[in-house]
A and B are shown apart, each in its own frame.
Chain A
């Protein structure tokens, strides 16, 4: 079953922050985050394991709450290069991912 992402889309000005949420109805071992630019392949950003860890990638970070079966991706001080569609991927055993429908992020100058 696919995880649910929110919001579907967000528009930002450079320097603004945003949060993308991902929730699952199943217990999770891990959550993956990917970014896809228009017409390109998805690119892996980070993986979070159960244990409530947080990770960072430049000014993009994420958290994972396995009790709530939720993960959030934080875009801090957004840059033009952050534009794209963000997908979370989940699986109870980190074996074969189900992806959310995606959140389209548009960063404007």
Chain B
């Protein structure tokens, strides 16, 4: 039972490079989320997908794009990486049912932009 799987675990990019962070869940969850975590700021929502085929912006979407490829997969793309995007990125998923379930998080991707 893998839960939420994120790849890669670590990545170093040069300013201006692009990359895609991958996330997949095997729990048949409808909702998926991307958060970034910076010291002292908690987790901030970048984008989310309430169901397959839909995506919406969160609190800090600038500089990112997402794709909900199917029910299992939700990817996050940085088109032109900037040092301000150095962070730990967490993907999460959640089963349907308002007020019933918490989020299951992946193990995170630690991204450094130099």
* A→B interface (CB under 8 Å): 2, 29-30, 32, 34, 40-47, 49, 87, 89, 93-102
Contacts and interface: CB of A to CB of B under 8 A. Distances in A.
A94 B44 CA distance: 16
A83 to B, nearest CB: 18
Interface of B: 33, 35, 40-45, 48, 50, 56, 58-59, 90, 98-108
Given A41-B106, A41-B108, A42-B105, A99 B99 contact: no
B42 A94 contact: no
A96 B48 contact: yes
A87 B99 CA distance: 17
Given A40-B107, A41-B90, A101 B42 contact: yes
A98 B43 CA distance: 8
Contact of B98 (A29, A32, A41, A45): A29
B38 to A, nearest CB: 10
A97 B31 CA distance: 12
A32 B42 contact: no
Contact of A34 (B40, B44, B102): B102
B48 A87 contact: no
